């Protein structure tokens, strides 16, 4: 078995254990393989091991992989910061965007989503790390942004995404995830049909699943340490 295949097996086992510990069925947690910085060959290796959904942070790198794997019917999620001058390729090529933090970007994605494709699935990114993070919308602005995004015809609002500050302590990992879930619950109670909580990475997927994650975004534990050089 290849290293990527055995890493995938180990990550799926971690997800199943965490889900059962939380009294949840493992099928309620989707594994997104974050392939940013890794070559196409790694995506193909993961796909050969049964992985269907992949996450990318950089538009051109992601689009290149999407084009090269078009025949395989993989699902592609854009999860990185998105500037408004880069929305067109994302609207034309990706299936999901997790990192909506401004209405302007959402409006452009909606307008640029080709009519022959289904609406782009999107999550609003919430900043639960305060001053230390520049990404995501403020918790108290999340509901208004979700309501505006939910009215855009080219998009289908699915839920919330968050990237808390990394910490090793389990209880500290849970706190921001719980905060995201509480915001999510309030928006759901206000009538928006959300079904997705995109939270949890290689080092904190157990805490995220305990707090209700439905998509975990895993890079390092599948592909190894990234080298940005
Ligand atoms: C890189 C990245 C991940 C994957 O992180 P790992 O720690 O390698 O699992 C998940 N989500 C986002 C938004 C990322 O940028």
Q: What is the CATH number for 76? A: 3.20.20.10
| Ligand 1 atom 13, closest CA | 79
Regarding the beta carbon of 79 and ligand 1, being less than 6 Å apart is answered yes
Count the domains in the chain.
1
Q: Are 7 and 221 in contact (CB under 8 A)?
A: yes
pLDDT at 47 over 90: yes
Rounded CA-CA distance 123/174 in Å is 20
Rounded CA-CA distance 21/183 in Å is 23
Instruction: Tell me if 229 is assigned to some domain.
Output: no
CA 190 to centroid of ligand 1, rounded, Å: 30
Predicted local distance difference test score (pLDDT) of residue 160 = 98
CA 116 to centroid of ligand 1, rounded, Å: 31
Query: Cα angle vertex 37, ends 99, 181, to 5°?
Result: 30
| Average pLDDT rounded to a whole number, residues 202-211 | 98
Using pLDDT thresholds of 50, 70 and 90, give the confidence band for residue 1. confident
Relative to the CA of 202, which ligand 1 atom is closest? 9
| Average pLDDT rounded to a whole number, residues 128-132 | 77
What are the CA-CA distances from residue 77 to residues 65, 80, 188 (Å)?
12, 9, 23
Relative to the CA of 220, which ligand 1 atom is closest? 8
CA proximity to 88, closest of 114, 69, 66: 114
Using pLDDT thresholds of 50, 70 and 90, give the confidence band for residue 83. very high
| Average pLDDT rounded to a whole number, residues 52-79 | 97
Predicted confidence (pLDDT) per residue in 89-119, tens digit? 999 999 999 999 999 999 999 999 999 999 9
Query: Cα angle vertex 31, ends 25, 34, to 5°?
Result: 165
pLDDT at 133 over 80: no
| Ligand 1 atom 11, closest CA | 217
Domain around 32: 3-223
Predicted local distance difference test score (pLDDT) of residue 229 = 65
Q: Are 162 and 182 in contact (CB under 8 A)?
A: no
Q: 44-58 burial string, b = 16+ CB within 10 Å, else e?
A: bbbbebebebbbbbe
- Write phi, then psi, for 152 (nearest 5 degrees): -80, 125
CA 201 to centroid of ligand 1, rounded, Å: 6
Name the burial class of residue 120, with classes exposed (0-12), middle (13-18) and buried (19+) by CB atoms within 10 angstroms of its CB.
buried
Q: Which residues pair with 121 in a beta bridge?
A: 96, 156
Relative to the CA of 32, which ligand 1 atom is closest? 10
pTM for this one?
0.97
pLDDT at 52 over 90: yes
Relative to the CA of 221, which ligand 1 atom is closest? 9
CA 191 to centroid of ligand 1, rounded, Å: 30
| Ligand 1 atom 7, closest CA | 202
Answer with the residue of higher pLDDT: 130 or 103. 103
* Consecutive H or E run containing 130: none
Instruction: Tell me if 228 is assigned to some domain.
Output: no
């Amino acid at each position: 078995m290849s290293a990527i295949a055995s890493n995938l097996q180990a990550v799926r086992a971690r997800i199943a254990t965490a889900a059962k510990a939380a009294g949840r069925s493992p099928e309620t947690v989707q594994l997104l393989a974050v392939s940013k910085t890794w070559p196409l060959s790694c995506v193909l290796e993961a796909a050969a091991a049964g992985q269907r959904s992949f996450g990318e942070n950089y538009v051109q790198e992601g689009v290149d992989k999407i084009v090269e794997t078009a025949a395989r019917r993989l699902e592609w999620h854009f999860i990185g910061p998105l500037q408004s001058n880069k929305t067109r390729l994302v609207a034309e090529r990706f299936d999901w965007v997790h990192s909506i933090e401004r209405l302007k970007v959402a409006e452009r994605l909606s307008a640029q989503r080709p009519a022959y494709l289904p609406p782009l699935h999107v999550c609003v990114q919430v900043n639960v790390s305060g001053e230390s993070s520049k990404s995501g919308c403020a918790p108290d602005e999340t509901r208004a942004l979700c309501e505006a995004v939910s009215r855009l015809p080219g998009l289908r609002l699915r839920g919330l995404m968050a990237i808390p500050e990394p910490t090793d302590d389990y209880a500290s990992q849970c706190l921001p995830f719980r905060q995201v879930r509480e915001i999510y619950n309030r928006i759901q109670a206000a009538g928006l049909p959300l079904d997705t909580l995109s939270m949890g990475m290689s080092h904190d997927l157990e805490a995220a699943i305990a707090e209700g994650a439905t998509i975990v975004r895993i890079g390092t534990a599948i592909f190894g340490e990234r080298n940005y050089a």
